């Protein structure tokens, strides 16, 4: 297939690499061209704009950081919508607010263009292992076309209804990530204040019904003081904020999420914004005047 | 071994049953004697008081509901301390506050009596399958003696330091249970407000790094509207309150736990106090005016 | 003086009325012209656009509801900036975010136009009594010019630094309003659960060091079940949200404000969005299953 | 009248002084006798125990710090109940939980002894100025007798129903105190982060409908960095905790109060426990990394 990837961040680059490896004809573009170097060396073509990238594609993937960027590469001047052929589908895979996904989908609909909102669970490691999870909202036939491309890096694709529902689904997951790290951090801080080694607590949790792969990996990193980012505090805070806005629009109150936003904000204030989101546990430990491990 | 079990609630009865099955000589007692019927039929002996039960025991287990009951059966008139032989150990397996565990341990210490605080992770099902986890605080040799008894129903025993540390450890686990169910409930409520079926959300979570046996079992029960209790809202609320008190004594602030106590209180107000703790999700869904499944 | 007023809501209309009564030459405009009827009958002139209204003014006042409207009437096509003379000042009196005030001020600065951000404390009653408080950010000489106009309805003007500081000041006040009504509602709910009449509680508070005009007026309204709006739940929620965003930009955490936003959201969900903000106490009483009075 | 005062803390001593000055025959007692020195020099008599103090009294006042002390001096060995004559009334003026007030009242009732729960609003300054407010629960005739004594230092007495209702009323007031100082601290922190002087903010608030004597006095103290205690953080935290327990017993959820307890706990952790409760604002400012004034 002909597949273009817009956005050469960690995620977009990894996707493009796997698509090339799977034998697809891949075109890439990015605001700062130098990030595309390794992929061009591996055989990708360069496009100057999202519109140009979309023009040659069966599936045009966008994977960018913030909602403003999503809107710009989709609807802006020389954006995907300008170039996308009628046979092709735009697969928007970033984390955006449901209302923003709905707004973009509506604009595509007016033009008869095909749009799928498809945020993902997992990060670079999952892309490389081919175990990414895709949460896709849009027409089933459009999703089916995209799935041929996604099979290069995804383990499973869920078809979830409308584009905004896929976004809401993803935000529901990220809210859960925030709550789980804060829950773990709170309990660790509590037992540490009672002189219990964190390693022992993590060990017991890992044998209990509360065990999860996330507690295992983040717990291990906490013990080592390793906050090399997979997903930074700042981005989790952004998603928690998008969730709050979406909830309020729906008349749904999220008090735990609201406190999570405050604590993540404090973590950013303390200088942890660009560390892995598990660094928020350092903020909790500082408040309790205790060491994590 | 000669083992006595004080407290014929769900947990104590199940332990006694497994101890008999393992060939131990078991003595039981309880405030209301009728609950001991089935065990007496299986070969257990009856004692009129905790002191009498302790007198004949190598290991005297207590498993009662609230801290006042723990104090009464341990230190009260005709309590364990009055009857316990110098070769024997009192294994207190209820969930109590660290300060209460420390106070009892101190009183035993003054009399040269042997005391282990050993709360557990798991409920009746785990006892019956022999997969209970035991968090033991006290002297290593005392814990070793108890472990011979516990092997009838426990998969693993951790030796964790002082009695109060074992209590703190257990409260840290129960705080985590509370946070996890509330986190799950919050995300489910959020995605439900966006029209997403809860089953789909639970399905995705179960394939993600956030998957845990608890989410799987409680999620399944939520979908069926099954709130048959394993561990009731009221008791989780009690433990969350014990954790708050213990944290404040140590100068440790727990804002998420504090909100958890409020929401669990609201669940009790709404009549869910004696349902499984997962019923707190009903309270969240009610606030958002949405159905859970 | 020649004064124009853009925005014929409750506040803007009342200001224009007082300015006419004080002998000024007043021009008005509004998105929906029919709201200006009574003022035109009292001698105000009509302008078709903000630019036209500004063209003839010494002081051009804007008083509109939301940040998007502020931006449109200030910077949009046929907005104030297009028409404002070099001798004249734009007095923006709505509640906006500090960053939005700063952005507008910067645009005016580039063009050499004079801009004052001047949100107010008080509502229609205070305008009519001439007791409004004005929180003004901008150049002292510009504020001095505006003050001549404001003297028609204001008791006092504070000169507070930059435009964004005036906005932050106002948000700080509205955060406090939100906290105070929630604090009062929480205590009333608590004493009501103990069977104490709310009137008695309000009476005692009013004799204590906690007494405030706000508790007196809102307390009286609560007793009568009178939620006729002075300032609606929905707008207080909007301001609390602006405060949260501004705080997070500055790395400042506001957990109580975050909970306030959640409870105000719940009040909107329950249908109180267009009632006076004190209606949030109904939400608290509902949760506690108790009557307010 | 013959009046005894048990508890020679700041409040009890000041009450006894005013009672002597008003011409009453005053007997005092205290755990540590040296605190009674100045009063004995002014003409008070000494009693060795609460029972002895009560024996000669028409009204026996108790004013002690914590619920355990209240129970001890009331119901303990040589407590008030042992000595109180049938014509006399015990006026318990400390801040206790409603359930504790009810329990003591019930024990007195069984013995035909007269008991009034009468917590107060105000501190030493109000006693000395004769402007204390008394919240009295019990029989009207008993309260009438006590009021003759209280007139030496109180401005007004409310008759509020049962003893537990007087306690609940007082806790409702102290919850409000906690919320108001935290609300003020939150807004001050917010405006300080925007570079606004706290003095200016306090000045505006004092002219607005939010003005209260408490904001004026505590605001002034904050500006001076004066945290000389009228009412210490630790005691406010205790009362907030009593309120939480009482609320939960009644099935009433208090999320703002719960967060208040957490923040007050953090203030104690940071070493402010024995400073005036307004010192909690220092904790908020520290989190935001800003100076208060």
CB–CB of D204 and C121 under 8 A? yes
Phi-psi region of C94 (alpha: psi -120 to 50; beta: other; left: phi over 0): beta
Cα A235 to chain centroid distance, Å, stands at: 9
Chain A: give the shortest CA distance to residue C243, in Å: 13
Is there a contact between B179 and A182 if contact means CB atoms under 8 Å apart? yes
Is the CB of B183 less than 8 angstroms away from the CB of A247? Answer: no
Q: With beta carbons under 8 A apart, name residues in chain B contacting C255.
A: 255
Taking the C-alpha atoms of residue A202 and residue A200, their distance in angstroms, rounded to an integer, is: 5
User: Does the distance separating the beta carbons of A133 and B194 come in below 8 Å?
Assistant: no
Contact A169 B177 (CB under 8 A): no
* Chain A nearest C-alpha distance from C270 (Å): 9
What pLDDT, on a 0 to 100 scale, did the predictor assign at position C230? 86
Higher pLDDT, A281 or B269: A281
Interface of A with C (CB under 8 A): 237, 241, 244, 247-248, 251-255, 258-259, 261-263, 265-266, 268-269
Q: Taking the mean position of all CA atoms in its chain, how far away is CA C22?
A: 22
Q: Give the Å distances, CA to CA, from D200 to D30, D234, D293.
A: 46, 30, 10
Q: Which chains touch D (3 or more CB pairs under 8 A)?
A: A, B, C
Establish whether this prediction's ipTM goes over 0.90: yes
Query: What's residue B187's pLDDT?
Result: 98
Closest CA of chain B from A140, distance in Å: 16
CB contacts of D283 in chain B (<8 Å) are: none
The answer to whether the CB atoms of D262 and B241 lie below 8 A apart is no
Quote the CA–CA distance of C206 and A170 in Å, as a whole number. Answer: 49
> Hey, how many other C-beta atoms are within 10 angstroms of the C-beta on C80?
30
Q: Residue B46 — pLDDT band, cuts 50, 70, 90?
A: very high
What are the respective helix, strand and coil percentages of chain A, to the nearest 5?
55, 15, 30
List the Cα angle B212/B217/B218 in 5-degree steps: 100
Closest-CA residue of chain A to B246 = A190
Chain B residues with CB under 8 Å of A177 CB are: 210
pLDDT higher than threshold 90 for residue C87: yes
Contact: B252, A212; criterion CB under 8 Å: no
User: Please, which pLDDT band fits residue C164 given cuts at 50, 70 and 90?
Assistant: very high
Chain B residues contacting C via beta carbons under 8 Å: 255, 266, 269, 287-289
Tokens of A156: 């499973």
Q: Beta strands of chain A (E only): which ranges? A: 2-6, 25-29, 45-46, 59-62, 89-92, 114-117, 120-121, 132-136, 154-159
Question: Which of A255, A266, A289 is facing D269, going by the closest CB pair?
Answer: A289
If residue C186 lies in a helix (H) or strand (E), which one and from where to where?
helix C163-193
Q: Say whether C196 and D165 touch across the interface (CB within 8 A).
A: yes
Query: Which member of A251, A262, A269 has the closest CB to residue C258?
Result: A262
The residue with greater pLDDT, A252 or C23, is C23
| CA–CA min distance A51, chain B (Å) | 32
Interchain pair C250, D193: CB under 8 A: yes
Touching subunits of B (3+ CB pairs, under 8 Å) are A, C, D
Q: What is the predicted pLDDT for the residue at C251?
A: 82
Q: What is the pLDDT of residue C77?
A: 95
Shortest distance between the Cα of D208 and any Cα of chain C, in A, equals 7
What is the pLDDT confidence band of residue B69, given thresholds at 50, 70 and 90? very high
Could D187 and C175 be called an inter-chain contact, meaning their C-beta atoms sit closer than 8 Å?
A: yes
* Whether pLDDT at B67 is above 90: no
CA–CA dist C171, C175 (Å, integer): 6
Confidence (pLDDT) at C239: 95
The mean pLDDT of B42-54, rounded to a whole number, is: 97
Q: Which of chain C's residues have a Cβ under 8 Å away from the Cβ of D247?
A: 190, 193
What spatial distance separates the first Cα and last Cα of chain D, rounded to whole Å? 50
> Nearest C-alpha of chain D: how many angstroms from A190?
13
| Helices D163-193 + D233-249 axis angle, to 10 | 120
In this complex, which of C248, C259, C261 lies closest to A265 when CB atoms are compared?
A: C248
Instruction: Give chain C's contact residues with A (Cβ, < 8 Å).
Output: 237, 241, 244, 247-248, 251-255, 258-259, 261-263, 265-266, 268-269
pLDDT digits (tens, 9 = 90+) for A210-241: 999 999 999 999 999 999 998 899 999 999 99
In chain B, which residues have their Cβ closer than 8 Å to the Cβ of C269?
Answer: 288-289
Contacts of A263 in chain C (CB under 8 A): 253
Given an 8 Å threshold on Cβ–Cβ distance, is D246 in contact with C165? no
pLDDT above 90: percentage of residues in chain B: 91
CB A26 within 8 A of CB A3: yes
The model's pLDDT over A151-192, given as tens digits with 9 standing for 90+, comes to: 999 999 999 999 999 999 999 999 999 999 999 999 999 999
Confidence of residue A253 (pLDDT cuts 50, 70, 90): confident
Q: What is the predicted pLDDT for the residue at A249?
A: 87
Shortest Cα distance, chain C CAs vs residue B265, angstroms: 10
Q: Which residues of B touch A164 (CB under 8 A)?
A: 194
Q: Is the pLDDT of residue B158 over 90?
A: yes
Residue of C nearest to D207 (CA): C133
Burial class (CB in 10 A: 0-12, 13-18, 19+), A128: middle
Residue with the larger pLDDT of the pair C212 and C65: C212
Find, among C208, C213, C221, the residue nearest to C293 by Cα. Answer: C221
Cβ-defined contact of D161 to C243 (cutoff 8 Å): no
Q: Quick one: pLDDT band at residue A251, thresholds 50, 70, 90?
A: confident
Answer yes or no: do A254 and C262 touch at CB < 8 A.
Answer: yes
Structure tokens given for B179: 């946070």
Report the neighbours of A using a cutoff of 3 or more CB pairs below 8 angstroms: B, C, D
Between CA B200 and CA A156 the distance in angstroms is 13
Cα–Cα distances (Å) from B251 to A93, A125, A141, A279, D280, in that order, read 44, 40, 58, 22, 14
What are the Cα distances from residue B258, in Å, to B272, C190, D65, D254, D286?
Answer: 19, 17, 25, 10, 22
**Using the beta-carbon criterion (under 8 Å), do D262 and B253 form an inter-chain contact?**
yes
Q: Which residue on chain B is closest to A180 by alpha carbon?
A: B180
**CA gap C267, B231 in Å, rounded:** 32
What torsion, rounded to 10 degrees, do the Cα atoms C13, C17, C19, C20 define?
130
Mean pLDDT along residues B2-18: 96
Among A287, A288, A289, the residue to mutate for chain D (most D Cβ within 10 A): A287
Residue C160 and residue D187: Cβ atoms within 8 Å?
Answer: no
Computed over every residue of chain C, the mean pLDDT equals 96
Inter-chain contact A175–B168, Cβ cutoff 8 Å? no
Find, in chain C, the residue whose alpha carbon is nearest to that of A248. C265
Asked if pLDDT for residue A83 goes beyond 90, the answer is yes
Q: How far C194 CA lies from chain B's nearest CA (Å)?
A: 15
pTM of the prediction? 0.89
Q: Provide the residue-wise pLDDT of chain D in tens; the chain has 293 residues.
A: 999 999 999 899 999 999 999 999 999 999 989 999 999 999 999 999 999 999 999 999 999 988 889 999 999 999 999 999 999 999 999 999 999 999 999 999 999 999 999 999 998 999 999 999 999 999 999 999 999 999 999 999 999 999 999 999 999 999 999 999 999 999 999 999 999 999 999 999 999 999 999 999 999 999 999 999 988 999 999 999 999 999 988 888 899 999 999 999 999 989 999 999 999 999 999 988 899 98
Instruction: Name the residue among C122, C133, C243 with its Cβ closest to that of D190.
Output: C243
- Alpha-helix residue ranges (DSSP H) falling in chain B: 10-21, 37-41, 50-55, 67-75, 80-83, 98-110, 124-129, 140-150, 163-193, 198-207, 213-224, 233-249, 255-269, 280-288
- If you average pLDDT over every residue of chain A, what do you get? 96
Which pLDDT value is given to residue C269?
87
Query: Taking the C-alpha atoms of A150, A153, A156 and A162 in order, what is their torsion angle to the nearest 10 degrees?
Result: -40
Contact C212 D210 (CB under 8 A): yes
On chain A, the residues whose CB falls within 8 A of the CB of C268 are 251
Interface with C, mutate which of A178, A249, A251 (most C CBs under 10 A) = A251
**Confidence at residue D287, expressed as pLDDT on a 0 to 100 scale:** 86
Closest chain A C-alpha to B45 CA, distance in angstroms: 33
| Sequence-separated (6 or more) residues with CB below 8 Å from residue C4 | C26, C27, C28, C29, C47, C53, C54, C56, C57, C59, C60, C61
- Tokens at C145, concatenated: 């010019």
Range list of β-strands (E), chain D: 2-6, 25-29, 45-46, 59-62, 89-92, 114-117, 120-121, 132-136, 154-159
- Across the range C272-282, mean pLDDT stands at 97
For residue C243, which residues of chain D lie inside 8 Å, CB to CB? 190
Label the pairing between strands C132-136 and C120-121.
antiparallel
Residues C114-130 have pLDDT tens digits of 999 999 999 899 999 99
| pLDDT over 90 at A66, yes or no | no
């Amino acid at each position: 297939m002909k597949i273009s990837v817009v956005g050469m961040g960690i995620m977009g680059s990894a996707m493009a690499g796997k698509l090339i490896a799977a034998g697809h004809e891949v075109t890439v573009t990015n605001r700062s061209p130098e990030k595309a170097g390794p992929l061009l060396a591996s055989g990708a073509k360069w496009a100057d704009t999202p519109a140009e990238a979309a023009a040659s594609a069966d599936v045009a993937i966008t994977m960018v950081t913030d909602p403003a960027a999503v809107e710009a590469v989709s609807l802006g001047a020389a954006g995907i919508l300008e170039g996308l052929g009628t046979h092709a589908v735009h697969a928007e895979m970033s984390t955006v607010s449901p209302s923003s996904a709905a707004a973009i989908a509506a604009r595509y609909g007016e033009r008869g263009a095909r749009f799928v909102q498809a945020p993902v669970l997992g990060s670079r490691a999952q892309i490389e292992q081919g175990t990414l999870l895709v949460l896709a909202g849009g027409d089933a036939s459009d999703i089916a076309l995209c799935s041929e491309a996604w099979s290069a890096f995804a383990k499973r694709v869920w078809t979830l209804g409308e584009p905004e529902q896929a976004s809401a689904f993803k935000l529901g997951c990220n809210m859960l990530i925030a709550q789980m790290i804060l829950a773990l951090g709170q309990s660790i801080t509590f037992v540490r204040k009672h002189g219990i080694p964190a390693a022992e607590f993590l060990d017991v949790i890992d044998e209990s019904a509360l065990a999860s792969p996330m507690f295992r990996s983040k717990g291990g990193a906490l013990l080592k003081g390793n906050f090399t980012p997979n997903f930074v505090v700042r981005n989790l805070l952004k998603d928690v904020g998008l969730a709050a806005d979406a909830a309020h629009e729906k008349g749904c109150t999220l008090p735990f999420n609201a406190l999570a936003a405050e604590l993540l904000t404090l973590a950013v204030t303390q200088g942890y914004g660009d560390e892995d989101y598990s660094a928020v546990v350092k903020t909790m430990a500082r408040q309790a005047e205790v060491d994590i491990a």
